[in-house]
Amino acid sequence: MTIIALPGVPSEMKSIFDESVASVLKQAAHGVTFFETSIEATKVMESEMAPLIDKVMHSNPHVYIKSHPKGAERVPRIEFHLSTTAKDSSTARKHVSKALIQLTELIQEKGGKIKLVKSET
């Protein structure tokens, strides 16, 4: 077992991770690729999204979805993170894209609005 500890200062942690840790993790992953994308939805409540998230994850067993309510504004705002691992980045992106389309359609059916936050490999 390998344990990696990094400093809590963000700039130092990022630098050490990029220069030393990322290559160790890639080697340990044996070619498996991680992919994540995030969207933000407004005008939908997290409580009404829970069964829809379950539905999308059931239809896409390789994709994990987590939600995070953001702020205490008048308009509800939720950030959704969709992630997966696969043997190559193309497959990983394909899995997440399919789930993202389904989730977006369900949010829009509830009257929600969507914007892309980020995508990372």
Average pLDDT for residues 15-32, to the nearest whole number?
Answer: 88
Structure tokens at 76: 């509800």
Residues 26-57: pLDDT tens digits? 888 888 999 999 999 999 988 899 999 999 99
CB-CB neighbours of 101 under 10 Å: 11
- Among 48, 39, 69, 60, smallest CA distance to 102 is for 60
Confidence of residue 71 (pLDDT cuts 50, 70, 90): low
Reference 81, options 111, 115, 54, 117; nearest CA is: 117
Tell whether the model's pLDDT for residue 105 goes beyond 90: yes
**pLDDT confidence of residue 27:** 85
The predicted pLDDT at position 73 comes to 65
